[in-house]
């Protein structure tokens, strides 16, 4: 079964798989040098570089092999089928647009959260209005050094401020969610087998349920959760807009 899966991988998916693996090997080899330049830092951060918008979705966490494995597994499973339906050029364009859309929504939500957090600090008198830019500048340039300030501030809000200003994003998950959205639209009644629990579920219910979970987790904004949930939603949102536009005269697939 696994041999058949590898043998039937479509051309663009095969190249995406290869590029992601090469990037991962480069990360393991050069570590911070690669990650500091190719992961996506927030706009305004000292670490932000424009090309990161086009490189971050080829990067994956070095701490967990599962990050790249499950993303690439999804690209192979869903991407191969979509490439066969659309053709290589259309599929590649779709994949890249979903990846960019995911990044832009993540950056927008991150910016709005930063502004909301600044307002919260002012409301609870943790920072004076004249000090906001000063501490943002420190966060941009010194990161966690911010919590070593002599002011009597609690560590948690200062670390959260640093996270909003400096935490990078990486991974192909935004593009993968675009693939999921398209698959659920084109093949709504195809049954997928879940891993946990191992039960079958129709693609349309899987995509809707997964998106609802991501929305809940994104709104919850758990400080210990370092997953870019709104990037996932951004990829799915952009993807469904594209397939709806393309699908005005679509055939039905099952």
CB-based contacts of 140, cutoff 8 Å, min separation 6: 44, 45, 46, 165, 166
Domain count, the chain: 1
254 lies in some domain? no
- Mean confidence (pLDDT) of the chain: 83
- Residue carrying the six token digits 């599929």: 91
Better-scored residue on pLDDT, 69 or 117: 69
pLDDT at 240 over 50: yes
Instruction: Assign 31 a pLDDT band (cuts: 50, 70, 90).
Output: confident
Q: What is the mean pLDDT of residues 185-190?
A: 94
Whichever domain contains 181, its CATH number is 1.20.1540.10
229 lies in some domain? yes
User: Distance between CA 212 and CA 202 in Å, rounded?
Assistant: 16
Find the domain containing 124 and state its range: 2-249
195 lies in some domain? yes
36-66 b/e (C-beta count within 10 Å ≥ 16 → b): eebbbbbebbebbeeebeebbbbbbbbeeee
CB-based contacts of 28, cutoff 8 Å, min separation 6: 62
pTM here is 0.84
211 lies in some domain? yes
End-to-end Cα separation, the chain, in angstroms: 21
210 lies in some domain? yes
For residue 33 the two structure tokens come to 């040098």
User: Distance between CA 167 and CA 35 in Å, rounded?
Assistant: 12
Q: Specify the pLDDT at position 125.
A: 57
213-246 b/e (C-beta count within 10 Å ≥ 16 → b): ebeebbeeeeeeeeebbbbbbbbbbbbbebbeee
What is the total residue count of the chain? 254
């Amino acid at each position: 079964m696994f041999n058949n899966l590898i043998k039937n991988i479509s051309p663009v998916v095969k190249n995406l798989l290869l590029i992601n693996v090469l990037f991962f090997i480069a990360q393991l080899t050069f570590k911070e040098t690669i990650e500091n330049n190719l992961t996506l830092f927030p706009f305004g951060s000292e670490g932000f570089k424009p090309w990161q918008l086009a490189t971050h979705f080829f990067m994956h966490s070095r701490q967990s092999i599962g990050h790249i494995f499950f993303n690439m597994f999804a690209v192979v499973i869903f991407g191969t089928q979509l490439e066969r339906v659309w053709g290589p050029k259309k599929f590649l364009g779709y994949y890249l647009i979903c990846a960019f859309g995911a990044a832009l929504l993540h950056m927008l939500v991150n910016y709005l959260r930063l502004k909301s957090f600044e307002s919260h600090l002012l409301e609870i008198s943790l920072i004076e209005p004249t000090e906001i830019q000063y501490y943002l500048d420190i966060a941009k340039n010194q990161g966690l050094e911010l919590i070593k300030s002599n002011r009597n501030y609690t560590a948690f809000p200062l670390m959260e401020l640093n996270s909003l200003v400096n935490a990078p994003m990486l991974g192909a998950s935004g593009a993968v969610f675009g693939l999921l959205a398209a698959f659920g639209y084109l093949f709504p009644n195809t049954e997928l087998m879940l891993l946990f629990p191992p039960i079958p579920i129709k693609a349309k219910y899987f995509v809707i349920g997964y998106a609802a979970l991501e929305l809940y987790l994104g709104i919850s904004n758990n400080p210990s959760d370092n997953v870019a949930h709104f990037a996932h939603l951004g990829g799915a949102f952009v993807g469904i807009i594209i397939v709806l536009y393309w699908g005005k005269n679509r055939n039905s697939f099952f």
